[in-house]
């Protein structure tokens, strides 16, 4: 058998491709950024064809960089930015509108209407999700309602919809496979997480024809095969998972109670809760962690919309720093936040607050406030948002979390990781491999084709690189109290128009 897995990591700001060997080691990486489109305030779109071309491009590049042949690839694993939605014509294969990104808030008012009509309890019970513009269903409804002729074509069976995994697989197989996996399906607001099927009542509520939907498959197994036109030979696709689910698997959080947090554009904490779904009482989401054959694993999730993106904003919006690594140097010369709190609700607040009308707020500014204070408050906001999610998770699961496994770009910032440990008063564990999301997709693909025998074999490859321990004298109550005052200020502003 070939010894390598090609992992395609299609993210919010870039498409990446990585090749892993059977020891879980990264052989080569290629990455390409693509455009972020902002037609109106609160609207975020991508060009789906640009995503496709960038993903194919980096796949070809990474194979070239690795100096291996396509014949050496055992399989492909795909992980993707979740909730970002594409609707395309089944005949032409062309999108009928730009991909609407998970960050997009254009359907917030419609979500408010659904909540006012009393639909949330039913939706929450069936899907494990809250009603929010974040998810797929409201984006599809908007496209059908606003693109000329779309609804008529949909009713006639001429349109297909999907998250980015579906869009890639459709194109990689030249239209032969219209599928998604259970993790991505569980982000639609249309998928019943108890029956593991699309729900007719929800489809009727959102006005979405069932014929548009992809077939739901396992996260690992014989899912599809690429056409020879894409990679010069046919390669099996044997692993698919939304990015946060792939990261949970890559962190080997395979036992109930294990928790990981990914620090990317947003910040996403997931806890393995085993084979029975728990509907949160603290505004967390219940989602499919993965499904492999008869094994179904669920997770609790807290979604934070803006994490690493706040550092990008300091660089691109304010010009406080010229590159992301500079912020750590700035922290060396900034003893505290100077009384400044920063709530980065650029696209609303996610868990556990779920205020889709909230916007970014900086409070506590005085004549003595410096760029360092604002930068520090921005970094602290990532840790404080994580604190709110973790405490909600502990309440739902009725356990005290002693260890948090972390991954993502922002984990390179030692100040943030130590501050996170101090705020949570728990250990922060960073694995040896930094490419956890892509590795999770590779592991799922490798299991699907037999490159690894089982999860126990994979666990032996997981090693700790860095661990942060909390300072016992950190004033948690005082610091969190200041943060919650800032949250209350943001909520007051959004609720008093």
* pLDDT for the residue numbered 74: 92
Residue 1: is its pLDDT beyond 70?
A: no
Residue 90: is its pLDDT beyond 70?
A: yes
Query: Count of CB atoms within 10 A of residue 203's CB?
Result: 17
Residue 307: is its pLDDT beyond 70?
A: yes
pLDDT tens-digit series, residues 19-55:
999 999 999 999 999 999 999 988 999 999 999 999 9
Nearest-angstrom CA–CA distance, 451 and 177: 24
Nearest-angstrom CA–CA distance, 494 and 266: 21
pLDDT tens-digit series, residues 288-301:
999 999 999 999 99
Place of tokens 């419609």: 110
* pLDDT for the residue numbered 232: 80
* pLDDT for the residue numbered 442: 96
Nearest-angstrom CA–CA distance, 478 and 341: 13
The answer to whether 397 and 300 are in contact (CB under 8 A) is yes
The answer to whether 461 and 24 are in contact (CB under 8 A) is yes
Higher pLDDT, 337 or 153: 153
Residue 158: is its pLDDT beyond 90?
A: yes
* pLDDT for the residue numbered 443: 95
CB-count burial class (<10 Å; 0-12, 13-18, 19+) for 489? middle
Higher pLDDT, 265 or 426: 426
* pLDDT for the residue numbered 296: 95
The answer to whether 291 and 436 are in contact (CB under 8 A) is no
* pLDDT for the residue numbered 187: 96
Residue 251: is its pLDDT beyond 70?
A: yes
What the block records as the tokens of 261 is 């947090």
| Burial call 370-386: b when 16+ CB within 10 Å, e when fewer | eebbbbbbbbbbbbbbb
Nearest-angstrom CA–CA distance, 172 and 175: 8
Which CATH number is 4-244 given? Answer: 3.30.420.40
Best-predicted range by mean pLDDT among 69-73, 415-419, 476-480? 415-419
- Helix, strand, coil shares of the chain, percent, nearest 5, are 40, 25, 35
State yes or no: cis peptide before 352, omega within 30 of 0: yes
* pLDDT for the residue numbered 435: 87
pLDDT tens-digit series, residues 102-148:
989 999 999 999 999 999 999 999 999 989 898 999 999 999 999 99
Average pLDDT over residues 91-96: 96
Q: Where are the alpha helices (DSSP H) in 325-461?
A: 326-332, 371-397, 414-424, 436-449, 455-459
Q: Which residues contact 445 (CB under 8 A, 6 or more apart)?
A: 5, 7, 74, 75, 76, 77, 220, 237, 238, 239, 451
Nearest-angstrom CA–CA distance, 189 and 204: 12
CB-count burial class (<10 Å; 0-12, 13-18, 19+) for 367? exposed
Q: Which helix (H) or strand (E) holds 312?
A: helix 308-313
Three-class secondary structure of residue 321 per DSSP: coil
User: What are the phi and psi torsion angles at 410 (to 5°)?
Assistant: -70, -10
pLDDT tens-digit series, residues 315-360:
888 888 888 777 888 888 888 888 999 999 988 888 888 887 888 8
Reported as a pLDDT band with limits 50, 70 and 90, residue 449 is very high
Residue 273: which of 128, 421, 378 has the closest Cα?
128
Mean pLDDT of the chain: 92
Query: Count of CB atoms within 10 A of residue 35's CB?
Result: 12
* pLDDT for the residue numbered 11: 92
Average pLDDT over residues 73-88: 96
The answer to whether 216 and 191 are in contact (CB under 8 A) is yes
């Amino acid at each position: 058998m070939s010894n390598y897995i090609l992992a395609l990591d299609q993210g919010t700001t870039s498409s990446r491709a990585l090749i892993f060997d059977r020891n879980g080691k990264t052989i080569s990486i290629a990455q390409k950024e693509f455009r972020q489109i902002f037609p109106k305030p609160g609207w975020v779109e991508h060009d789906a064809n640009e995503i496709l071309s960038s993903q194919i491009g980096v796949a070809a590049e990474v194979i070239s960089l690795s100096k291996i042949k396509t014949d050496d690839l055992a399989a492909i694993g795909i992980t993707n930015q979740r909730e970002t939605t594409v609707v395309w014509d089944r005949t032409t294969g062309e999108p009928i509108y730009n991909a609407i990104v998970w960050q997009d808030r254009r359907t917030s008012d419609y979500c408010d209407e659904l909540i006012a009509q009393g639909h949330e309890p039913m939706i929450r019970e069936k899907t494990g999700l809250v009603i929010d513009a974040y998810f797929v269903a409201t984006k599809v409804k908007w496209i059908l309602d606003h693109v000329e002729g779309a609804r008529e074509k949909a009713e006639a069976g001429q349109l297909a919809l999907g998250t980015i995994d579906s869009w890639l697989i459709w194109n990689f197989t030249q239209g032969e496979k219209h599928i998604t996996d259970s993790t991505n399906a569980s982000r639609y607001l249309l998928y019943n997480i108890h029956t593991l099927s699309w729900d007719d009542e929800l489809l009727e509520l959102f006005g979405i024809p069932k014929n548009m939907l992809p077939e739901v498959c396992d996260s690992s197994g014989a899912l599809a095969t690429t056409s020879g036109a894409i990679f010069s030979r046919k390669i099996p696709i044997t692993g698919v998972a939304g990015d946060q689910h792939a990261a949970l698997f890559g962190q080997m959080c395979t036992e109930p109670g294990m928790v990981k947090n990914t620090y990317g554009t947003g910040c996403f904490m997931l806890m393995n809760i085993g084979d029975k779904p728990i509907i949160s009482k603290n505004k967390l989401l219940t989602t499919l962690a993965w499904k492999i054959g008869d094994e179904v694993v669920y997770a609790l999730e807290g979604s934070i919309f803006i994490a690493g993106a706040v550092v990008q904003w300091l660089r691109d919006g304010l010009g406080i720093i010229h590159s992301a690594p500079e912020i750590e140097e700035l922290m060396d010369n900034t003893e505290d936040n100077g009384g400044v709190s920063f709530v980065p609700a650029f696209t609303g607040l996610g868990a556990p607050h779920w205020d889709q009308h909230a916007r970014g707020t900086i409070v506590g500014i005085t004549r003595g406030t410096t760029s360092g204070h604002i930068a520090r408050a921005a970094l602290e906001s990532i840790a404080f948002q994580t604190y709110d999610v973790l405490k909600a998770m502990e309440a739902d699961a009725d356990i005290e979390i002693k260890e948090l496994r972390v991954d993502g770009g922002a984990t390179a910032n030692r100040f943030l990781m130590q501050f996170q440990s101090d705020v949570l008063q728990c250990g922060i564990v960073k694995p040896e491999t930094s490419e956890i999301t892509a590795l999770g997709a590779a592991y799922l693909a490798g299991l699907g084709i037999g490159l690894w025998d089982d999860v126990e074999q994979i666990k032996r490859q997981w090693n700790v690189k860095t661990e942060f321990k909390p300072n016992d004298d950190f004033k948690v109550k005082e610091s969190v109290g200041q943060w919650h005052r800032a949250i209350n200020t943001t909520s007051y502003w959004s609720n008093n128009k």
